[in-house]
Amino acid sequence: MTDRDFRARLRRGERLVGTLLTLPSPSVAELLAAQGFDWLFVDAEHGAFDHGDVLRVLQAVAGRCACLVRVPGLDPAWIARTLDAGATGIIVPQVHTAADATRAVQLAKYPPQGLRGVGAVRASRYGTAVRDALASANDESVVVVQAESRGAVVASREIAAVPGLDAVFVGPFDLSASLGVPGEVQAPVVQEAIGTIAAACADARMPLGIFGMGPEAVLPHAARGFTLLAAGVDTALLAGAAREVATALRG
């Protein structure tokens, strides 16, 4: 699946399933990419990634599935270097307003649509295919913003209407903290806020995404129209499987 295919499937509203990668390990990324996921959520906001780690992960996955990298913030250098490394797209955390979302799109796109600079990088075959990259990147790169604050809920209709944006991704844990009930993602105030975001995106025909620690946390949202789904974290998956083995061996 090419980056163009992934963006087209996302915008068509197909269900795309993924999981979180927080360990800066090309081997773990390669292993997860081979398990049937449509995409990997590469977490450079909370995971221990530097730019080199992101590049090595993308090289290890190498087309097995899409990689959306959550950058640490609305940072021009991180966004440019992530896309330069060949990521399918970016997930920008802590987007609170339509102006924030517009800025994310601008930083991810080449002129005239945006402000991204041109370099001899992996995404342009290290400078040997710059013209091809400039011709296709704006149509292929995926821009996702996270709605995870009270401000994003209030501005959800304006955010969902931003041109060039490909999806809004709900961060339920940060959203719960912003709403005064940290960690209580099932609290009525959190679920009501998620409903507000979902309604705004549905009206704008903007694809919706969400994360949960397991399928049971995510699938109810799929029934509400969420299509960009991420469940589980590499560390928790490894720890859970290891715990099951240790418990079974002890009888």
- Residue 3, pLDDT score: 75
Predicted TM-score (pTM) of the model is 0.96
Q: Name the nearest CA neighbour of 38 among 4, 67, 7, 65.
A: 65
Contact 97, 159 (CB under 8 A): yes
| pLDDT in the model for residue 63 | 85
Q: What is the pLDDT of residue 4?
A: 79
Q: Are strands 167-170 and 208-212 parallel, antiparallel or unpaired?
A: parallel
Tokens of 116: 């991204």
Structure tokens at 129: 């295919």
The whole-number pLDDT of residue 15 equals: 98
Dihedral angle of Cα 192, 193, 195, 199, to the nearest 10 degrees? 140
Which residues of the chain are under the pLDDT cut of 50? none
How many whole angstroms separate alpha carbon 100 and alpha carbon 106?
A: 10
Residue 174 in tokens: 């940060």
The residue count of the chain comes to 251
pLDDT of residue 1: 64
The catalytic residues are 46
**Element of type H or E holding 248:** helix 234-249
Say what the pLDDT of residue 219 is. Answer: 96
